[in-house]
């Protein structure tokens, strides 16, 4: 009963168009004031302690690092390197866009940022070379989604934040701990590479079919030069992933290090950015991070209410009682998340849905890491499905295509991603094999 009221209220408030964070907060306040005896002071305390965790601070650091990389010329050099490697195949610059997005995704934690960084440079170049605009915009919008699957990833941090500290039980009543940020990052490597390959194949096939232009084959010395030029950017991949894997840094520290590193290479090595641009980048990053942290605060409040009303447990018991196996459950989860993905942005969905679905998943014997990656892949698809898909907006901004045309242009890649989602959902080994091999799981 209370679940119905809570979700009804939240749904109504969200549909009115107010910010998701405000809708979450108002739902909690209304419910607590009218229906329960929870002391209101505990709400005030939660508002502060909700984000008082060091893991969460990885988010602002990764955003800052991403902004430095976008403004500081790292993206441009990565594109040149990617083009020199794959530009001579069918699809030329299109293929290079997929490759460059994958490379940039490995240093940045956000999808729209990846689309902006790669798309705003490559898309005009593709149009100039005679690619259909639709094709170019489609490639960039869909490959940009790699940003949150290839580590580091802000949405992965969100998933860990949303589920950490939950007391959940496996199928036989044993205690299961939630996934850590480090585990999620390492688990994202193989699915990320695989999805990159899939998107590349679709691009190649379409280019071969449509006979789109390719570039001249770059010589090995040109490739080596492009590699050296982008080396400082590529080294960041090693710093973040190597540092976390070797246990030198925690993920948050790795994020802070990559922010400082990105600042140094942008300002002092590549010199694409002056010192006086730094405050602007800091302000833009602070703005974006504060928005995300504000959603987290209110989502923590919301999941406090959920736990207080025992809703996740009730849903878990109900679903298990329905005799729905993990196969059926994951199908429902996928549909639910894909539907949510069409109207909401990933951070809010993850923060609201993960705490509710996670106990059920664990109870059905699904690995927390596998479940997390599944959510991330769903979120990626959500970013390119209308009416609300951040990547579509950004790509439509760059390409000046309308939203409807944008939505059609991503279709081939969207279908590929949906099949990829099925693969990830029902073959957990793809996700779990790599972290198990490294011994982090």
Partner 1 sequence: MLMRVLDRLEEIIITVLIGVATVVIFVAVVQRYGLSNSGQLMGWAKSQGMDWLFNAAKSVFVFLNSFNMTWAQELCIYLFVWMAKFGAAYGVRTGIHVGVDILLNSLPDRSRYFMVLFGLLAGALFTAIVGSLGAEFVWHMAQTDQTSPDLEWPMWIIYLAVPLGSYLMCFRFLQVAWTFARTGELPQHDHGHVEGIGEADEPLLTEPHLHPREIKHGEGDKP
Site for partner 1 in 105-124 (CB under 8 A): 112, 115-117, 120-121, 124
Give backbone dihedrals phi and psi of 174, rounded to 5 degrees, phi first: -80, 155
183 binds partner 1 (CB under 8 A): no
Which residues, numbered 245-264, are part of the site for partner 1 (CB under 8 A)?
248-249, 252-253, 256-257, 259-260
User: What does the alpha-carbon distance between residue 80 and residue 93 come to, in Å, rounded to a whole number?
Assistant: 10
List the one residue out of 311, 322, 409 whose CA is nearest residue 358: 311
Residue 70 or 163 with smaller CB distance to partner 1: 70
Task: Mark the segment that binds partner 1 (CB under 8 A) among 100-108, 190-198, 214-222, 386-394.
Answer: 386-394
C-beta closer to partner 1: residue 48 or 220 = 48
**Contact region with partner 1 (CB under 8 A), list: 95-103, 152-160, 307-315, 392-400:** 392-400
Q: How far apart are CA 338 and CA 349, in angstroms?
A: 10
Q: How far is the CB of 176 from partner 1 (least distance, A)?
A: 27
- Which member of 5, 205, 234, 272 binds partner 1 (CB under 8 A)? 272
13 is a site residue for partner 1 (CB under 8 A): yes
- Binding residues for partner 1, rule CB under 8 A, total 79
The 325-354 site mask, x for binding partner 1 (CB under 8 A), equals ------------------xxx---------
**Residues in contact with 309: Cβ distance below 8 Å, sequence separation at least 6, in sequence order:** 2, 3, 6
Q: How many CB atoms lie within 10 A of CB 144?
A: 32
* SS3 of residue 101 by DSSP: helix
The one segment of 19-27, 189-197, 349-357, 416-424 that binds partner 1 by CB under 8 A: 19-27
The answer to whether 287 contacts partner 1 (rule: CB under 8 A) is: yes
Interface positions, 416-435, toward partner 1 (CB under 8 A): none
Give least dist CB 30 to partner 1, A. Answer: 10
From the number of C-beta atoms within 10 Å of its C-beta (0-12, 13-18, 19+), residue 337 rates as buried
Cα separation, 144 vs 110, whole angstroms? 9
Q: What is the DSSP letter of 427?
A: -
* Shortest distance in whole angstroms from residue 209 CB to partner 1: 29
397 near partner 1, rule: CB under 8 A: yes
DSSP string for residues in 124-186:
HHHHHTT--HHHHHHHHHHHHGGGGTSSS-HHHHHHHHHHTT--EE-TTS-EEPPPPHHHHHH
Whole-angstrom Cα Rg for the chain: 22
Q: How far is the CB of 238 from partner 1 (least distance, A)?
A: 16
Tokens 């950017």 identify what position?
233
Binding residues for partner 1 restricted to 67-96, rule: CB under 8 A? 70-71, 75-76
Q: Is 25 in the site for partner 1 (CB under 8 A)?
A: yes
Q: How far is the CB of 47 from partner 1 (least distance, A)?
A: 5
Q: Is 235 in the site for partner 1 (CB under 8 A)?
A: no
Nearest to 101 by CA among 395, 337, 345: 395
């Amino acid at each position: 009963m209370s679940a119905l009221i809570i979700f009804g209220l939240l749904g109504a408030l969200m549909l009115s168009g107010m910010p998701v964070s405000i809708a979450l907060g108002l739902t909690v306040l209304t419910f607590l004031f009218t229906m329960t005896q929870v002391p209101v002071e505990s709400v005030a305390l939660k508002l502060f302690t909700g984000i008082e965790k060091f893991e969460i601070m990885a988010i602002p650091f990764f955003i800052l690092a991403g902004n430095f990389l976008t403004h500081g010329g790292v993206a441009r050099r990565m594109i040149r390197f990617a083009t020199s490697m794959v530009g001579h195949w069918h699809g030329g610059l299109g293929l290079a866009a997929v490759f460059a997005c994958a490379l940039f995704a490995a240093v940045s934690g956000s999808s729209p940022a990846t689309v902006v960084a790669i798309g705003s440079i490559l898309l005009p170049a593709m149009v100039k070379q005679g690619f259909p605009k639709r094709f170019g915009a489609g490639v960039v919008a869909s490959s940009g989604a790699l940003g949150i699957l290839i580590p580091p990833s802000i949405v992965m941090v969100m998933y860990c934040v949303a589920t950490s500290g939950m007391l959940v039980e496996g199928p036989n009543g044993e205690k299961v701990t939630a996934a850590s940020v480090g585990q999620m990052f390492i688990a994202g490597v193989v699915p990320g590479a695989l999805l990159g390959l899939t998107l590349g194949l679709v691009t190649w096939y379409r280019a071969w079919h449509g006979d789109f232009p390719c570039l001249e084959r770059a010589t090995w010395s040109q490739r080596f030069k492009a590699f050296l030029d982008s080396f400082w950017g590529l080294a960041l991949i090693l710093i973040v992933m190597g540092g976390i894997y070797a246990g030198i840094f925690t993920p948050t520290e790795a994020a802070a290090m990559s922010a400082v590193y990105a600042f140094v290479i942008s300002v002092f090595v590549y010199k694409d950015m002056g010192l006086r641009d730094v405050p602007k980048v800091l302000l833009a990053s602070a703005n974006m991070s504060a928005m995300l942290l504000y959603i987290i605060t209110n989502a923590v409040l919301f999941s406090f209410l959920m736990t207080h009303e025992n809703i996740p447990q009730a849903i878990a018991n109900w679903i298990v009682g329905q005799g729905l196996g993990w196969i059926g459950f994951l199908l429902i989860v996928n549909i639910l998340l894909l539907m949510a993905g069409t109207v909401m942005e990933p951070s809010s969905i993850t923060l609201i849905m993960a705490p509710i679905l996670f106990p059920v998943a664990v109870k059905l014997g699904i690995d927390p890491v596998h479940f997390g990656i599944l959510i991330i892949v769903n979120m990626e698809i959500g970013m390119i499905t209308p009416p609300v898909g951040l990547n579509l907006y950004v790509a439509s901004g760059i390409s000046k295509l309308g939203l409807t045309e944008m939505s059609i242009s991503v279709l081939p890649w969207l279908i590929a991603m949906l099949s990829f989602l099925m693969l990830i959902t029902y073959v957990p080994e793809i996700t779990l094999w790599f972290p198990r091999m490294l011994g982090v799981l």
